[in-house]
Structure 1
Amino acid sequence: MVRKIVHLRWKQRLGPIAIGDKLGMPASTVHAVLVRCRINRLTHIDRATGEPIRRYEHERPGDLIHVDVKKLGRVPDGGGWRYVGRQQGGKNRSATVERTGAAKNKWHNPLIGTCYLHTVIDDHSRVAYVEAHDDETKETATQVLKNATAWFAQRGVTVRRVLSDNGSCYRSHLWRDTCTELGITPKKTRPYRPQTNGKIERFHRTLAEGWAFKKFYNSESARLAALPGWIHEYNHHRPHSAIGKAAPITRLDNLAGHHT
Protein backbone atom coordinates (compact mmCIF):
# COMPACT_ATOMS: atom_id res chain seq x y z
CA MET A 1 0.00 0.00 0.00
CA VAL A 2 2.87 2.36 0.78
CA ARG A 3 4.37 1.62 -2.62
CA LYS A 4 1.06 2.48 -4.30
CA ILE A 5 0.85 5.78 -2.41
CA VAL A 6 4.42 6.71 -3.32
CA HIS A 7 3.87 5.69 -6.95
CA LEU A 8 0.81 7.95 -7.30
CA ARG A 9 2.70 10.80 -5.66
CA TRP A 10 5.76 10.48 -7.88
CA LYS A 11 4.11 9.71 -11.20
CA GLN A 12 0.89 11.74 -11.02
CA ARG A 13 1.78 14.45 -8.43
CA LEU A 14 -1.49 13.74 -6.59
CA GLY A 15 -2.24 15.03 -3.09
CA PRO A 16 -3.47 13.09 -0.06
CA ILE A 17 -7.16 13.58 -0.87
CA ALA A 18 -6.86 12.38 -4.49
CA ILE A 19 -4.63 9.45 -3.53
CA GLY A 20 -6.99 8.45 -0.70
CA ASP A 21 -9.93 8.53 -3.11
CA LYS A 22 -8.13 6.25 -5.59
CA LEU A 23 -7.04 3.75 -2.92
CA GLY A 24 -10.13 3.94 -0.70
CA MET A 25 -8.32 5.13 2.44
CA PRO A 26 -8.43 8.25 4.63
CA ALA A 27 -6.49 11.28 3.43
CA SER A 28 -4.92 11.62 6.88
CA THR A 29 -3.38 8.15 6.54
CA VAL A 30 -2.03 9.00 3.10
CA HIS A 31 -0.57 12.24 4.45
CA ALA A 32 1.15 10.36 7.29
CA VAL A 33 2.76 8.00 4.76
CA LEU A 34 3.93 10.91 2.59
CA VAL A 35 5.47 12.61 5.62
CA ARG A 36 7.23 9.41 6.62
CA CYS A 37 8.65 9.06 3.10
CA ARG A 38 9.66 12.76 3.04
CA ILE A 39 7.60 13.51 -0.07
CA ASN A 40 4.71 15.34 1.58
CA ARG A 41 5.72 18.54 -0.21
CA LEU A 42 6.10 18.72 -3.98
CA THR A 43 9.14 20.96 -3.43
CA HIS A 44 10.85 17.85 -2.04
CA ILE A 45 10.42 16.06 -5.38
CA ASP A 46 12.46 16.50 -8.54
CA ARG A 47 10.19 17.92 -11.24
CA ALA A 48 11.73 15.87 -14.04
CA THR A 49 11.98 12.43 -12.44
CA GLY A 50 9.53 12.57 -9.52
CA GLU A 51 12.22 11.23 -7.19
CA PRO A 52 13.08 12.82 -3.85
CA ILE A 53 15.65 15.59 -4.26
CA ARG A 54 19.13 14.58 -3.14
CA ARG A 55 21.07 17.58 -1.89
CA TYR A 56 24.81 17.65 -1.33
CA GLU A 57 27.37 20.12 -0.04
CA HIS A 58 31.13 19.71 0.03
CA GLU A 59 32.83 20.14 3.37
CA ARG A 60 35.31 22.94 2.62
CA PRO A 61 35.49 25.97 0.30
CA GLY A 62 37.28 25.07 -2.91
CA ASP A 63 36.54 21.34 -2.71
CA LEU A 64 34.22 21.89 -5.68
CA ILE A 65 33.32 24.87 -7.83
CA HIS A 66 30.47 24.91 -10.34
CA VAL A 67 30.92 26.61 -13.72
CA ASP A 68 28.42 27.44 -16.44
CA VAL A 69 27.45 30.07 -19.01
CA LYS A 70 24.29 32.19 -18.79
CA LYS A 71 23.18 33.74 -22.07
CA LEU A 72 21.31 37.05 -22.08
CA GLY A 73 20.12 39.14 -24.99
CA ARG A 74 21.83 42.53 -25.01
CA VAL A 75 19.87 45.63 -24.03
CA PRO A 76 19.33 48.02 -26.97
CA ASP A 77 19.92 51.74 -26.63
CA GLY A 78 16.82 53.23 -25.06
CA GLY A 79 15.79 50.05 -23.24
CA GLY A 80 14.40 46.63 -24.04
CA TRP A 81 10.84 45.45 -24.65
CA ARG A 82 10.30 44.29 -21.06
CA TYR A 83 10.07 47.90 -19.89
CA VAL A 84 9.26 49.99 -22.96
CA GLY A 85 6.91 47.57 -24.74
CA ARG A 86 7.41 45.47 -27.84
CA GLN A 87 6.76 48.25 -30.36
CA GLN A 88 9.22 50.71 -28.84
CA GLY A 89 11.61 47.87 -28.03
CA GLY A 90 11.69 46.90 -31.70
CA LYS A 91 12.45 50.48 -32.69
CA ASN A 92 15.26 50.63 -30.14
CA ARG A 93 16.74 47.41 -31.50
CA SER A 94 16.66 48.72 -35.07
CA ALA A 95 18.25 52.01 -34.05
CA THR A 96 20.99 50.18 -32.16
CA VAL A 97 21.73 47.95 -35.15
CA GLU A 98 21.90 50.98 -37.44
CA ARG A 99 24.36 52.66 -35.07
CA THR A 100 26.59 49.64 -34.53
CA GLY A 101 26.31 48.08 -37.99
CA ALA A 102 25.35 44.71 -36.52
CA ALA A 103 24.08 41.92 -38.73
CA LYS A 104 20.48 40.83 -39.25
CA ASN A 105 19.05 37.32 -39.15
CA LYS A 106 17.67 35.43 -42.15
CA TRP A 107 14.28 37.10 -41.64
CA HIS A 108 16.02 40.51 -41.78
CA ASN A 109 15.24 41.21 -38.14
CA PRO A 110 17.81 43.29 -36.24
CA LEU A 111 20.29 41.41 -34.06
CA ILE A 112 21.98 43.18 -31.17
CA GLY A 113 23.88 40.14 -29.98
CA THR A 114 24.16 38.02 -26.86
CA CYS A 115 25.98 38.60 -23.60
CA TYR A 116 27.66 35.44 -22.31
CA LEU A 117 28.00 35.47 -18.53
CA HIS A 118 30.62 32.94 -17.43
CA THR A 119 29.64 32.14 -13.86
CA VAL A 120 31.55 30.32 -11.13
CA ILE A 121 30.14 29.44 -7.70
CA ASP A 122 31.78 27.68 -4.76
CA ASP A 123 29.83 24.62 -3.63
CA HIS A 124 30.39 25.07 0.12
CA SER A 125 30.15 28.84 0.59
CA ARG A 126 28.04 29.84 -2.48
CA VAL A 127 30.48 32.69 -3.15
CA ALA A 128 30.08 33.67 -6.82
CA TYR A 129 32.43 34.98 -9.51
CA VAL A 130 31.11 36.30 -12.83
CA GLU A 131 32.67 37.60 -16.05
CA ALA A 132 30.76 38.98 -19.06
CA HIS A 133 32.10 38.05 -22.53
CA ASP A 134 31.07 38.05 -26.18
CA ASP A 135 31.39 34.29 -26.67
CA GLU A 136 31.56 30.91 -24.95
CA THR A 137 34.61 29.47 -26.70
CA LYS A 138 37.08 27.14 -25.02
CA GLU A 139 39.67 29.93 -24.87
CA THR A 140 37.29 32.23 -23.00
CA ALA A 141 36.09 29.48 -20.65
CA THR A 142 39.62 28.44 -19.70
CA GLN A 143 40.70 32.04 -19.11
CA VAL A 144 37.70 32.55 -16.83
CA LEU A 145 38.70 29.42 -14.90
CA LYS A 146 42.23 30.80 -14.45
CA ASN A 147 40.90 34.17 -13.33
CA ALA A 148 38.41 32.60 -10.92
CA THR A 149 41.04 30.31 -9.43
CA ALA A 150 43.32 33.30 -8.81
CA TRP A 151 40.39 35.30 -7.38
CA PHE A 152 39.54 32.54 -4.92
CA ALA A 153 43.23 32.08 -4.04
CA GLN A 154 43.38 35.74 -2.98
CA ARG A 155 40.64 34.91 -0.49
CA GLY A 156 42.42 31.91 0.94
CA VAL A 157 40.59 29.25 -1.10
CA THR A 158 42.38 26.53 -3.08
CA VAL A 159 40.22 25.09 -5.86
CA ARG A 160 40.45 21.29 -6.07
CA ARG A 161 37.58 20.22 -8.37
CA VAL A 162 35.42 21.88 -11.00
CA LEU A 163 31.99 20.66 -12.13
CA SER A 164 30.60 21.64 -15.52
CA ASP A 165 27.98 20.48 -17.98
CA ASN A 166 28.85 18.85 -21.30
CA GLY A 167 29.18 22.03 -23.34
CA SER A 168 31.79 21.99 -26.11
CA CYS A 169 34.08 24.43 -24.31
CA TYR A 170 34.19 22.13 -21.28
CA ARG A 171 34.80 18.99 -23.33
CA SER A 172 37.81 20.47 -25.12
CA HIS A 173 41.41 19.34 -24.69
CA LEU A 174 42.29 22.92 -23.73
CA TRP A 175 39.90 22.74 -20.76
CA ARG A 176 41.37 19.40 -19.68
CA ASP A 177 44.94 20.65 -20.02
CA THR A 178 44.18 23.87 -18.15
CA CYS A 179 42.65 21.93 -15.26
CA THR A 180 45.79 19.75 -15.14
CA GLU A 181 47.98 22.85 -15.15
CA LEU A 182 46.02 24.36 -12.26
CA GLY A 183 45.92 21.09 -10.32
CA ILE A 184 42.13 20.88 -10.57
CA THR A 185 40.15 17.69 -11.17
CA PRO A 186 37.47 18.27 -13.88
CA LYS A 187 34.04 16.70 -13.37
CA LYS A 188 31.03 16.51 -15.72
CA THR A 189 27.32 16.25 -15.05
CA ARG A 190 25.25 13.46 -16.55
CA PRO A 191 23.77 14.46 -19.94
CA TYR A 192 20.40 16.20 -19.61
CA ARG A 193 20.70 16.36 -15.81
CA PRO A 194 21.12 20.07 -14.91
CA GLN A 195 19.91 19.21 -11.39
CA THR A 196 23.44 17.93 -10.62
CA ASN A 197 24.69 21.46 -11.21
CA GLY A 198 21.68 22.87 -9.39
CA LYS A 199 23.51 25.43 -7.27
CA ILE A 200 24.66 27.40 -10.27
CA GLU A 201 21.33 26.95 -12.05
CA ARG A 202 19.62 28.52 -9.02
CA PHE A 203 22.24 31.28 -8.99
CA HIS A 204 21.38 32.09 -12.61
CA ARG A 205 17.74 32.53 -11.62
CA THR A 206 18.74 34.84 -8.77
CA LEU A 207 21.07 36.71 -11.14
CA ALA A 208 18.28 37.28 -13.65
CA GLU A 209 15.75 38.41 -11.06
CA GLY A 210 18.09 40.47 -8.92
CA TRP A 211 20.19 42.15 -11.61
CA ALA A 212 19.50 41.45 -15.30
CA PHE A 213 15.74 42.17 -15.31
CA LYS A 214 15.35 43.86 -11.95
CA LYS A 215 15.01 47.40 -13.28
CA PHE A 216 15.09 49.50 -16.42
CA TYR A 217 18.47 49.82 -18.15
CA ASN A 218 18.78 52.22 -21.08
CA SER A 219 21.75 50.36 -22.61
CA GLU A 220 23.82 47.21 -22.31
CA SER A 221 26.74 49.16 -20.88
CA ALA A 222 24.49 50.49 -18.09
CA ARG A 223 23.42 46.96 -17.17
CA LEU A 224 26.99 45.65 -17.17
CA ALA A 225 28.10 48.60 -15.03
CA ALA A 226 25.62 47.46 -12.36
CA LEU A 227 26.92 43.88 -12.32
CA PRO A 228 29.96 44.26 -9.98
CA GLY A 229 27.84 46.02 -7.36
CA TRP A 230 25.20 43.30 -7.45
CA ILE A 231 27.82 40.54 -7.17
CA HIS A 232 29.29 42.30 -4.13
CA GLU A 233 25.83 42.54 -2.59
CA TYR A 234 25.21 38.84 -3.27
CA ASN A 235 28.52 37.69 -1.80
CA HIS A 236 28.86 40.05 1.17
CA HIS A 237 25.39 41.11 2.28
CA ARG A 238 22.54 39.01 0.84
CA PRO A 239 21.36 36.29 3.29
CA HIS A 240 21.46 32.85 1.66
CA SER A 241 18.70 30.53 2.85
CA ALA A 242 20.68 27.34 2.13
CA ILE A 243 23.49 28.30 4.53
CA GLY A 244 21.44 29.47 7.49
CA LYS A 245 20.59 32.92 6.10
CA ALA A 246 24.22 34.01 6.29
CA ALA A 247 26.12 35.88 3.59
CA PRO A 248 28.23 33.52 1.42
CA ILE A 249 31.49 35.34 2.19
CA THR A 250 31.15 34.46 5.88
CA ARG A 251 31.91 30.83 5.02
CA LEU A 252 35.36 31.71 3.73
CA ASP A 253 38.43 32.12 5.92
CA ASN A 254 39.07 35.85 6.35
CA LEU A 255 42.81 35.51 5.87
CA ALA A 256 43.36 38.84 4.13
CA GLY A 257 40.59 40.85 5.79
CA HIS A 258 38.55 41.18 2.62
CA HIS A 259 35.13 41.03 4.28
CA THR A 260 35.43 42.98 7.55
Structure 2
Amino acid sequence: MGKWWPLFLSLLAPAYSSYGQPAAAGSSALAGDCGSKAYQDSLVARYLDRGAHRISHLSPQWGQYCDSLIAACPNIAYAYQQKAMPLIKCGDYAKAFPLVNKAVELDANRWLAYRGFLKCIFTKDYTGAIADFQRVAKLKPNGREMDHTYSFFEGVSELELGNYKRAETAFAHDMALQRGTDGTGEIHFNTLFYAGMVAAASKQHAQAELYLQQCLKVYPQYPEANYYLALTYRAQGRPALARQHLEAAQRALTGGYRLNEDNIFYANYPGQITEHEVTQALKQSGN
Protein backbone atom coordinates (compact mmCIF):
# COMPACT_ATOMS: atom_id res chain seq x y z
CA MET A 1 0.00 0.00 0.00
CA GLY A 2 2.76 2.41 0.99
CA LYS A 3 4.52 2.38 -2.35
CA TRP A 4 1.27 3.04 -4.24
CA TRP A 5 0.30 6.12 -2.21
CA PRO A 6 2.86 8.51 -3.81
CA LEU A 7 1.84 7.25 -7.26
CA PHE A 8 -1.82 7.89 -6.45
CA LEU A 9 -1.06 11.45 -5.36
CA SER A 10 1.03 12.06 -8.48
CA LEU A 11 -1.91 11.07 -10.67
CA LEU A 12 -4.18 13.52 -8.86
CA ALA A 13 -1.70 16.41 -8.97
CA PRO A 14 -2.16 17.57 -12.61
CA ALA A 15 -5.90 17.90 -12.24
CA TYR A 16 -5.82 19.97 -9.06
CA SER A 17 -2.73 22.05 -9.74
CA SER A 18 -4.55 23.69 -12.67
CA TYR A 19 -7.45 24.90 -10.52
CA GLY A 20 -7.86 28.57 -11.39
CA GLN A 21 -4.85 28.38 -13.73
CA PRO A 22 -4.54 27.85 -17.48
CA ALA A 23 -4.18 24.19 -18.35
CA ALA A 24 -0.80 23.14 -19.68
CA ALA A 25 -0.52 22.15 -23.32
CA GLY A 26 -1.82 18.65 -23.86
CA SER A 27 -3.52 18.45 -20.45
CA SER A 28 -7.23 17.85 -19.99
CA ALA A 29 -9.73 19.07 -17.42
CA LEU A 30 -11.52 16.80 -14.99
CA ALA A 31 -14.09 14.78 -16.90
CA GLY A 32 -17.62 16.12 -16.87
CA ASP A 33 -20.82 16.39 -18.87
CA CYS A 34 -20.45 19.28 -21.31
CA GLY A 35 -24.17 19.10 -21.98
CA SER A 36 -24.85 20.09 -18.39
CA LYS A 37 -25.31 23.83 -17.77
CA ALA A 38 -24.20 23.36 -14.18
CA TYR A 39 -20.95 21.79 -15.35
CA GLN A 40 -20.44 24.49 -17.98
CA ASP A 41 -21.03 27.15 -15.34
CA SER A 42 -18.47 25.53 -13.06
CA LEU A 43 -15.87 25.67 -15.83
CA VAL A 44 -16.68 29.31 -16.65
CA ALA A 45 -16.24 30.15 -12.97
CA ARG A 46 -12.95 28.24 -12.87
CA TYR A 47 -11.28 29.55 -16.01
CA LEU A 48 -12.91 32.96 -16.46
CA ASP A 49 -14.37 34.32 -13.23
CA ARG A 50 -11.43 33.09 -11.13
CA GLY A 51 -8.95 33.15 -13.98
CA ALA A 52 -9.00 35.46 -17.00
CA HIS A 53 -11.19 38.09 -15.35
CA ARG A 54 -8.60 38.60 -12.62
CA ILE A 55 -5.90 39.69 -15.05
CA SER A 56 -5.60 42.20 -17.88
CA HIS A 57 -7.22 41.23 -21.16
CA LEU A 58 -3.89 42.23 -22.74
CA SER A 59 -2.08 39.41 -20.94
CA PRO A 60 -1.25 36.29 -22.99
CA GLN A 61 -2.72 34.30 -20.11
CA TRP A 62 -6.19 35.60 -20.99
CA GLY A 63 -6.19 33.56 -24.19
CA GLN A 64 -4.69 30.58 -22.37
CA TYR A 65 -7.55 30.56 -19.87
CA CYS A 66 -10.05 30.66 -22.75
CA ASP A 67 -8.21 27.86 -24.53
CA SER A 68 -8.36 25.77 -21.35
CA LEU A 69 -12.11 26.32 -21.14
CA ILE A 70 -12.57 25.42 -24.80
CA ALA A 71 -10.44 22.30 -24.37
CA ALA A 72 -12.59 21.24 -21.42
CA CYS A 73 -15.90 21.94 -23.19
CA PRO A 74 -15.78 23.07 -26.83
CA ASN A 75 -19.51 23.87 -26.88
CA ILE A 76 -19.45 26.92 -24.56
CA ALA A 77 -20.13 29.94 -26.78
CA TYR A 78 -19.01 32.41 -24.12
CA ALA A 79 -15.49 30.99 -24.20
CA TYR A 80 -15.07 31.90 -27.88
CA GLN A 81 -16.53 35.40 -27.37
CA GLN A 82 -14.20 36.03 -24.44
CA LYS A 83 -11.19 34.85 -26.42
CA ALA A 84 -12.21 37.19 -29.25
CA MET A 85 -12.77 40.25 -27.04
CA PRO A 86 -9.11 41.32 -26.58
CA LEU A 87 -8.48 40.78 -30.28
CA ILE A 88 -11.42 43.04 -31.14
CA LYS A 89 -10.19 45.77 -28.80
CA CYS A 90 -6.74 45.55 -30.41
CA GLY A 91 -8.20 45.69 -33.92
CA ASP A 92 -7.21 42.16 -34.94
CA TYR A 93 -10.54 41.40 -36.59
CA ALA A 94 -9.14 38.68 -38.85
CA LYS A 95 -8.42 36.52 -35.79
CA ALA A 96 -11.40 37.70 -33.77
CA PHE A 97 -14.27 37.08 -36.16
CA PRO A 98 -13.86 33.31 -36.62
CA LEU A 99 -14.19 33.09 -32.83
CA VAL A 100 -17.24 35.36 -32.79
CA ASN A 101 -18.75 33.34 -35.64
CA LYS A 102 -18.24 30.18 -33.57
CA ALA A 103 -20.01 31.80 -30.62
CA VAL A 104 -22.93 32.70 -32.91
CA GLU A 105 -23.00 29.16 -34.28
CA LEU A 106 -23.27 27.75 -30.76
CA ASP A 107 -25.68 30.35 -29.34
CA ALA A 108 -27.19 32.71 -31.90
CA ASN A 109 -29.81 33.86 -29.42
CA ARG A 110 -27.10 35.43 -27.26
CA TRP A 111 -24.31 36.41 -29.66
CA LEU A 112 -25.89 37.24 -33.04
CA ALA A 113 -26.80 40.81 -32.03
CA TYR A 114 -23.32 41.22 -30.56
CA ARG A 115 -21.80 40.26 -33.91
CA GLY A 116 -24.11 42.73 -35.65
CA PHE A 117 -22.89 45.43 -33.27
CA LEU A 118 -19.26 44.59 -34.07
CA LYS A 119 -19.97 44.75 -37.80
CA CYS A 120 -21.72 48.11 -37.44
CA ILE A 121 -19.25 49.87 -35.15
CA PHE A 122 -15.92 48.09 -35.51
CA THR A 123 -15.56 46.64 -39.01
CA LYS A 124 -18.04 48.96 -40.80
CA ASP A 125 -19.70 45.99 -42.52
CA TYR A 126 -23.05 47.75 -42.56
CA THR A 127 -24.78 45.31 -44.89
CA GLY A 128 -23.68 42.42 -42.70
CA ALA A 129 -24.80 44.27 -39.57
CA ILE A 130 -28.28 44.82 -40.97
CA ALA A 131 -28.55 41.15 -41.91
CA ASP A 132 -27.55 40.07 -38.40
CA PHE A 133 -29.95 42.44 -36.66
CA GLN A 134 -32.85 41.50 -38.90
CA ARG A 135 -32.14 37.83 -38.24
CA VAL A 136 -31.87 38.22 -34.46
CA ALA A 137 -35.04 40.32 -34.39
CA LYS A 138 -36.90 37.18 -35.42
CA LEU A 139 -35.35 35.29 -32.52
CA LYS A 140 -35.77 38.06 -29.93
CA PRO A 141 -38.28 40.70 -31.08
CA ASN A 142 -37.62 44.13 -29.59
CA GLY A 143 -34.33 42.98 -28.06
CA ARG A 144 -31.40 45.22 -27.26
CA GLU A 145 -27.63 45.18 -27.59
CA MET A 146 -25.17 47.56 -25.92
CA ASP A 147 -28.07 49.59 -24.46
CA HIS A 148 -29.68 50.17 -27.85
CA THR A 149 -32.50 48.57 -29.82
CA TYR A 150 -31.68 46.54 -32.90
CA SER A 151 -33.37 49.25 -34.96
CA PHE A 152 -30.85 51.79 -33.68
CA PHE A 153 -27.96 49.88 -35.25
CA GLU A 154 -29.98 49.26 -38.41
CA GLY A 155 -30.56 53.00 -38.62
CA VAL A 156 -26.87 53.80 -38.19
CA SER A 157 -25.98 51.20 -40.83
CA GLU A 158 -28.55 52.47 -43.32
CA LEU A 159 -27.32 56.03 -42.73
CA GLU A 160 -23.76 55.02 -43.54
CA LEU A 161 -24.94 53.17 -46.65
CA GLY A 162 -26.76 56.30 -47.82
CA ASN A 163 -30.20 54.70 -47.52
CA TYR A 164 -31.77 57.67 -45.76
CA LYS A 165 -35.42 56.62 -46.04
CA ARG A 166 -34.62 53.23 -44.53
CA ALA A 167 -32.55 54.90 -41.83
CA GLU A 168 -35.43 57.26 -41.05
CA THR A 169 -37.81 54.31 -40.73
CA ALA A 170 -35.38 52.41 -38.49
CA PHE A 171 -34.93 55.34 -36.13
CA ALA A 172 -38.69 55.94 -36.00
CA HIS A 173 -39.09 52.33 -34.88
CA ASP A 174 -36.22 52.73 -32.41
CA MET A 175 -37.92 55.79 -30.88
CA ALA A 176 -41.28 54.04 -30.71
CA LEU A 177 -39.71 51.14 -28.80
CA GLN A 178 -38.02 53.53 -26.39
CA ARG A 179 -41.22 55.45 -25.74
CA GLY A 180 -42.94 52.18 -24.89
CA THR A 181 -46.60 51.28 -24.99
CA ASP A 182 -47.55 54.19 -22.72
CA GLY A 183 -45.54 56.67 -24.78
CA THR A 184 -43.68 58.10 -21.78
CA GLY A 185 -40.23 56.57 -22.24
CA GLU A 186 -37.28 58.89 -22.81
CA ILE A 187 -35.42 58.81 -26.11
CA HIS A 188 -31.68 58.15 -25.91
CA PHE A 189 -29.68 61.22 -26.95
CA ASN A 190 -27.68 59.19 -29.46
CA THR A 191 -30.88 58.16 -31.21
CA LEU A 192 -31.77 61.85 -31.48
CA PHE A 193 -28.26 62.63 -32.72
CA TYR A 194 -28.29 60.03 -35.50
CA ALA A 195 -31.88 60.81 -36.45
CA GLY A 196 -30.69 64.42 -36.80
CA MET A 197 -27.83 63.28 -39.02
CA VAL A 198 -30.28 61.38 -41.23
CA ALA A 199 -32.52 64.43 -41.55
CA ALA A 200 -29.52 66.65 -42.34
CA ALA A 201 -28.28 64.22 -44.98
CA SER A 202 -31.78 64.26 -46.51
CA LYS A 203 -31.69 68.09 -46.46
CA GLN A 204 -34.63 68.16 -44.05
CA HIS A 205 -32.99 71.01 -42.16
CA ALA A 206 -35.90 71.91 -39.90
CA GLN A 207 -36.26 68.30 -38.78
CA ALA A 208 -32.51 67.96 -38.28
CA GLU A 209 -32.51 71.12 -36.18
CA LEU A 210 -35.36 69.74 -34.03
CA TYR A 211 -33.68 66.40 -33.36
CA LEU A 212 -30.29 67.94 -32.61
CA GLN A 213 -31.76 70.56 -30.30
CA GLN A 214 -33.62 67.79 -28.42
CA CYS A 215 -30.35 65.88 -28.19
CA LEU A 216 -28.55 68.88 -26.73
CA LYS A 217 -31.27 69.36 -24.10
CA VAL A 218 -30.26 65.97 -22.73
CA TYR A 219 -26.49 66.32 -23.30
CA PRO A 220 -25.62 70.01 -23.81
CA GLN A 221 -21.86 69.36 -24.15
CA TYR A 222 -22.28 66.79 -26.94
CA PRO A 223 -19.56 67.91 -29.41
CA GLU A 224 -20.96 66.11 -32.44
CA ALA A 225 -24.52 67.34 -31.87
CA ASN A 226 -23.25 70.93 -31.61
CA TYR A 227 -21.08 70.49 -34.69
CA TYR A 228 -23.82 69.04 -36.93
CA LEU A 229 -26.36 71.53 -35.66
CA ALA A 230 -23.89 74.26 -36.66
CA LEU A 231 -23.69 72.78 -40.16
CA THR A 232 -27.48 72.68 -40.28
CA TYR A 233 -27.67 76.35 -39.35
CA ARG A 234 -25.03 77.15 -41.94
CA ALA A 235 -27.05 75.33 -44.61
CA GLN A 236 -30.04 77.50 -43.65
CA GLY A 237 -28.00 80.72 -43.97
CA ARG A 238 -27.78 81.39 -40.23
CA PRO A 239 -24.04 81.99 -39.70
CA ALA A 240 -24.23 83.49 -36.19
CA LEU A 241 -25.97 80.42 -34.77
CA ALA A 242 -23.61 78.18 -36.73
CA ARG A 243 -20.57 79.86 -35.16
CA GLN A 244 -22.16 79.72 -31.71
CA HIS A 245 -22.50 75.93 -31.90
CA LEU A 246 -19.10 75.41 -33.47
CA GLU A 247 -17.57 77.26 -30.55
CA ALA A 248 -19.65 75.13 -28.17
CA ALA A 249 -18.33 71.99 -29.89
CA GLN A 250 -14.77 73.27 -29.58
CA ARG A 251 -15.18 74.03 -25.86
CA ALA A 252 -16.70 70.61 -25.27
CA LEU A 253 -13.86 68.77 -27.00
CA THR A 254 -11.26 70.84 -25.15
CA GLY A 255 -13.09 70.01 -21.92
CA GLY A 256 -12.87 66.29 -22.60
CA TYR A 257 -16.46 65.66 -23.69
CA ARG A 258 -16.99 63.05 -26.37
CA LEU A 259 -19.66 61.09 -28.17
CA ASN A 260 -20.89 59.06 -25.20
CA GLU A 261 -20.66 55.34 -25.95
CA ASP A 262 -18.63 52.73 -24.05
CA ASN A 263 -16.66 51.54 -27.07
CA ILE A 264 -15.41 54.89 -28.42
CA PHE A 265 -12.01 53.99 -26.95
CA TYR A 266 -11.71 51.10 -29.40
CA ALA A 267 -13.58 52.25 -32.52
CA ASN A 268 -14.74 55.45 -34.18
CA TYR A 269 -18.51 55.78 -34.29
CA PRO A 270 -20.16 57.14 -37.44
CA GLY A 271 -20.21 60.92 -37.36
CA GLN A 272 -17.58 61.13 -34.61
CA ILE A 273 -15.45 64.28 -34.88
CA THR A 274 -12.13 65.65 -33.64
CA GLU A 275 -11.01 69.19 -32.91
CA HIS A 276 -9.62 69.34 -36.46
CA GLU A 277 -13.08 69.25 -38.05
CA VAL A 278 -14.31 72.00 -35.73
CA THR A 279 -11.25 74.18 -36.34
CA GLN A 280 -11.66 73.86 -40.11
CA ALA A 281 -15.35 74.71 -39.89
CA LEU A 282 -14.57 77.79 -37.79
CA LYS A 283 -11.99 78.93 -40.34
CA GLN A 284 -14.59 78.57 -43.09
CA SER A 285 -17.01 80.68 -41.05
CA GLY A 286 -14.44 83.46 -40.85
CA ASN A 287 -13.44 82.93 -37.23
- Bucket of the pairwise TM-score, normalised by the shorter protein: under 0.3
**Structure of greater relative contact order (alpha carbons < 8 Å, 6+ residues apart):** 1
Q: Which has the higher helix share?
A: 2
TM-score, normalising length from structure 1? 0.26
The structure with the largest alpha-carbon Rg is 2
TM-score, normalising length from structure 2? 0.25
